[in-house]
Amino acid sequence: MDVTFSVSSSLPAPAADIRRKVFMEEQGFKEEFDATDDAATHIVAYSDGVAAGTCRVFGEGDDLHIGRIAVLPAFRGTGLGSKILREAERVARARGARTVTLLAQTAARAFYEKNGYVAASERTLYDEGVPHVVMERSLVREE
């Protein structure tokens, strides 16, 4: 699988399509698009030229946020989600971030832990009734 990325300062149509399919059609979220989209950096992952996954990076300072990580069903289990996280971390690091934070669906917590994220607290937050946990990862490399 040949994976390439596009990085954009505005929400590209492939990212919107993936998010609509995953979050709205598959998972039932109603309020998928928000003002953060206007300020975020959007990443689209292409697998052999096909738009397969997406996420966004946003915020200011040395702790940036990764959000709306979505992989189309046909590409799950291929390692694409981890590759998207690494690309988002690369973008955040290039913007001066020392840490990244994300709001993970609790059902996906093990995926994020496998990718080096730890829970910032054990407090459960709810987004449209779905339980989430705040997770973070340091981008500072040990010397």
Residue at 57 is within a domain? yes
24-35 per-position pLDDT tens digit: 999 999 989 999
Kindly indicate the confidence band of residue 143, based on its pLDDT and cuts at 50, 70 and 90. Answer: very low
Q: Quote the CA–CA distance of 71 and 107 in Å, as a whole number.
A: 15
Domain that holds residue 22: 3-138
DSSP code string of 55-117: EEEE-STTEEEEEEEEE-GGGTTTTHHHHHHHHHHHHHHHTT-SEEEEEEEGGGHHHHHHTT-
Residue at 63 is within a domain? yes
Residue at 143 is within a domain? no
**What pLDDT does 89 receive?**
97
Find the CATH number of the domain harbouring 77: 3.40.630.30
